Every structure is written in C-alpha cells, then in structure tokens.
C-alpha cells in the first residue's frame, strides 16, 4: 500500500491560498486514494522555529492547524487517514541526525530557501536549524516510505534533496532501505496541477499569496471576518486591459480572481472562464468573487468552531501511536544498517 504524505506548517495564520493550494488538493487526494493508500497529514511543528517565532502561541497554533484540516473536509476518522505531530514521533529527529551524516554541506548550502531566509534582514538569527530544515524534511518523508508528496513549488528543491539522500543511502548500503519519492514532474501530474495552480497576492498578483507578507490586504486569512475579506477582494489589483480573460502573464489579477472563483465553488476553471469571457465589468467579477469568498469563510469558520479540542486530542492519541509504530520500524532498520544496532 502506498503512502501519500504532506506537512503544513502552522506558525502563521493560513491564507485562502494555503487552503486552495494545499489543503483542498490534499483532501481531494485523500478522497480519491484513501481506499488503497495511507494518507499522512502531519504538522511539522519542529520546523516551526527554524526562524524565530512567538513560542507562547505555538501549542495552540498546532491544535488549530489540525482543526483546519478537519474543517477543510479531511475525514480524520477514515482508517487510512493519519494526523500527527512531528515532535511526538521522536524517530523524525533521530533519523534526521543520521541523514545529516549522509548529506553534504555543499548540497544543503545550495538550498534556495536557506539562502533566501538566511539573507533576509528581518531574520536576525540564522540558526543551524534553518540550515538543517531540508534534512528533517527528508526524514519526515523517508520514515514512511512515502512516494507521493503534495507540495508547493517552493518545496520541490527540498524534495529533490530527499530523493538524492535516499538514493545515496540505498546505494551505499546496497539495499532498498528507503522508497525514493516520485520526481517533481510525477508529483505535479499526481496532484493534477499541470496547469500550475498558485493563488496570487491580491495587491501584487505577479507574486504568490503569502502568509508571511506583512501587508494584510495582499491575502485572505482563514480567520478574516467575511465582510473584511470581501472588501479585500473588491480592492484587489487588476489591470487596464478592460476585458475579462484568463491570462496569467498579462492579466494576473483577473486570472487570480477567476481561479479563486472556480476553486471555491469546486467548478472547472474552464467553465468559469467561459461564463465571464468577453465581459468588461471588473466590478461585477469582483462582486461575484467577494460574495463567494465571504460565503466560504462564514461556512468554514462555523465548521471550525464546531470542532473541540477533545476531538483533536483523541485523533492525535490514536494516530501518533500508529505513526510511532511505522516510523520506529524504519528507524530500527536504519540503525541496524549503520551499525547502531545488532544486525
Ligand atoms: N517544508 C514544508 C513547507 O514549508 C513543510 C514540510 C515539512 C513538509 N516536512 C514535510 C511537507 C514533509 C511535505 C513533506 O511547506
């Protein structure tokens, strides 16, 4: 049985972009493949403070992060769906250390995300954890023999590192210890994202909608009041072309609105594009999308409020037992191979 695995970081308030680009695709994959694959959706909470955060909020954010999965429609009670915290499965940290010794300083230094974050002037403390981030991520994946890893574009380089480390390790010890995850091209096909899904910033639509963007108007947060979100859509940056068309290069703002409208209503993008083809009122389109977003948020927030902490804790207790079993089996195998345990 194959494993589909992904982790979503929770130390910032998730945006509509995260919801449409990460949560929703994963939940659809879970519905599509849950009968014959394990669906591991975990919270990489040890990754949360590779850059400085407010630690007094972290515990709450993790519990809320799990509620977000469930409110988004993940059936957490399905037998093959596993929700767990990275920090509660110590094998992640232990395998990370072992893999550190099979990862070269050079390849870790080439990671774009590390280069960007370590040179960001807002980041006043560049930790070894930030440097080591992709190796822990490799451990997250390889412990479970996961093959499909739904990810955002900015994470593909980390996936490539996980593949390279797995291949190197298997080759060195002449055994198929780790399943080598699918290539980037295969992952994209699996996620049905050949057309490149990326929800854009509302104020600078050439860029992606980012939860770390300090300009609150650039993003819809999942905890925005519906009226507030609706205002943000109404003031979204568009263009001066004057006709509604899907054209990410020349009309990224309008295209972004069409994309949001399609995804939120679970309609094929082509249908939404045809509905609006040739129309000229950007105001009408914005009102329609604003309305869709406001309805969606009201609904989502109601579902979220209905999930109590006890439900989450019960799911975690069960699934973390499972995750520890699977992960420890792999860790022990690795420990035998590298000589830490009797062969
Ligand atoms: N680095 C991922 C992100 O920021 C989160 C993550 C951590 C992850 N470990 C993972 C995703 C393992 C997939 C698999 O989006």
Catalytic residue among 57, 67, 115, 117: 117
| pLDDT at position 249 | 93
Catalytic residue list contains 208: yes
Cα(53)–Cα(32) distance, integer angstroms: 36
> pLDDT for 19-57, tens place per residue?
888 888 888 899 999 999 999 999 999 999 999 999 999
| pLDDT at position 151 | 86
3, 6, 152: which to mutate for ligand 1, most atoms within 8 A of CB?
Answer: 6
Nearest CA owner, ligand 1 atom 8:
7
**Which residues are CB-neighbours of 176 under 8 A, at least 6 positions away?**
170
Instruction: Describe the chain by its helix, strand, coil percentages, rounded to 5.
Output: 55, 5, 35
Residue 191 has pLDDT above 80, yes or no: yes
149 lines ligand 1 (CB under 6 A): yes
| pLDDT at position 123 | 86
Token digits of residue 27: 């939940």
Q: How far is the CA of 137 from the centre of ligand 1 (A)?
A: 6
Catalytic residue among 67, 208, 232, 286: 208
Q: What are the strands of the beta sheet with 2-7, ordered from one edge?
A: 2-7, 37-43, 81-85
| pLDDT at position 290 | 98
Please state the atom number of ligand 1 nearest to the C-alpha of residue 47: 7
> pLDDT for 121-170, tens place per residue?
888 899 999 999 999 999 999 999 999 998 888 899 999 999 999 999 99
Cα(264)–Cα(20) distance, integer angstroms: 7
Residue 184 has pLDDT above 90, yes or no: yes
Residue 8 has pLDDT above 80, yes or no: yes
**Under 8 Å between Cβ of 328 and 91:** yes
Token digits of residue 291: 């309305």
Q: How far is the CA of 161 from the centre of ligand 1 (A)?
A: 13
Assign domain 2-192+309-338 one CATH number from 3.30.540.10, 3.40.50.620, 3.30.930.10, 1.10.3210.10. 3.40.50.620
In the 8-state DSSP scheme, what is residue 153?
G
| pLDDT at position 197 | 66
| pLDDT at position 194 | 55
Catalytic residue list contains 217: no
Token digits of residue 325: 């079993």
47 lines ligand 1 (CB under 6 A): yes
> Which segments of the chain belong to CATH 3.40.50.620?
2-192+309-338
Q: How far is the CA of 65 from the centre of ligand 1 (A)?
A: 14
Catalytic residue list contains 67: no
Nearest CA owner, ligand 1 atom 14:
6
Neighbour-count burial for 182-202, b at 16+ CB within 10 Å, e otherwise = bebeebbebbebeeebbbbbb
Is the full-model pTM beyond 0.85? Answer: yes
Q: Which fold has domain 216-305?
A: Tyrosyl-Transfer RNA Synthetase (1.10.240)
Residue 196 has pLDDT above 80, yes or no: no
Please state the atom number of ligand 1 nearest to the C-alpha of residue 137: 9
Residue 255 has pLDDT above 60, yes or no: yes
* 237-250 mean pLDDT: 96
Query: 202, 273, 268, 204: which is closest to 236 by C-alpha?
Result: 202
| pLDDT at position 22 | 80
> Which segments of the chain belong to CATH 1.10.240.10?
216-305
**Under 8 Å between Cβ of 230 and 291:** yes
> pLDDT for 54-97, tens place per residue?
999 999 999 999 999 999 999 999 999 999 999 999 999 999 99
* 301-311 mean pLDDT: 96
């Amino acid at each position: 049985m194959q494993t589909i695995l992904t982790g979503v970081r929770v130390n910032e308030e998730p945006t509509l972009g995260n919801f449409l680009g990460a949560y929703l695709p994963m939940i659809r994959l879970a519905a599509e493949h849950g009968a014959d694959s394990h669906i591991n959706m975990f919270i990489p909470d040890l990754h949360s403070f590779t850059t400085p955060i407010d630690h007094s909020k972290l515990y709450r954010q993790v519990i809320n992060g799990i509620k977000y999965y469930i409110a988004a429609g993940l059936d957490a009670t399905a037998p093959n769906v596993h929700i767990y915290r990275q920090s509660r499965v110590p094998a992640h940290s232990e395998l990370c250390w072992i893999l550190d010794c099979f990862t070269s300083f050079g390849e870790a230094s080439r990671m774009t995300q590390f280069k960007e974050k370590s040179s960001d002037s807002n980041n006043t403390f560049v930790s070894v954890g930030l440097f080591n981030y992709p190796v822990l991520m490799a451990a997250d994946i390889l412990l479970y023999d996961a093959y499909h890893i739904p990810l955002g574009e900015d994470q593909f380089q980390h996936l490539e590192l996980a593949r390279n480390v797995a291949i190197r390790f298997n080759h060195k010890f002449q055994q198929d210890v780790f399943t080598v995850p699918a290539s980037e091209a295969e992952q994209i096909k699996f996620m049905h994202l050949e057309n490149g899904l990326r929800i854009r910033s509302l104020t600078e639509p050439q860029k992606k909608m980012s939860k770390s963007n300090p300009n609150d108007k650039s993003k819809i947060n999942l905890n925005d009041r519906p009226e507030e979100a609706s205002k943000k859509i109404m003031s979204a940056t568009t263009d001066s072309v004057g006709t509604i068309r899907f054209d990410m290069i020349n009309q990224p703002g309008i295209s972004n609105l069409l994309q949001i409208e399609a995804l939120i209503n679970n309609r094929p993008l082509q249908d939404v594009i045809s509905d609006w083809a040739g129309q000229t009122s950007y105001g009408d389109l914005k009102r329609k999308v604003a309305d869709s977003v406001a309805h969606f948020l009201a609904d989502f927030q109601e579902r979220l409020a209905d999930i109590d902490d006890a439900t989450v804790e019960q799911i975690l207790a069960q699934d973390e037992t499972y995750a520890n079993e699977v992960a420890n089996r792999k860790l022990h195998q690795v420990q035998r191979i590298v000589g830490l345990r009797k062969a």
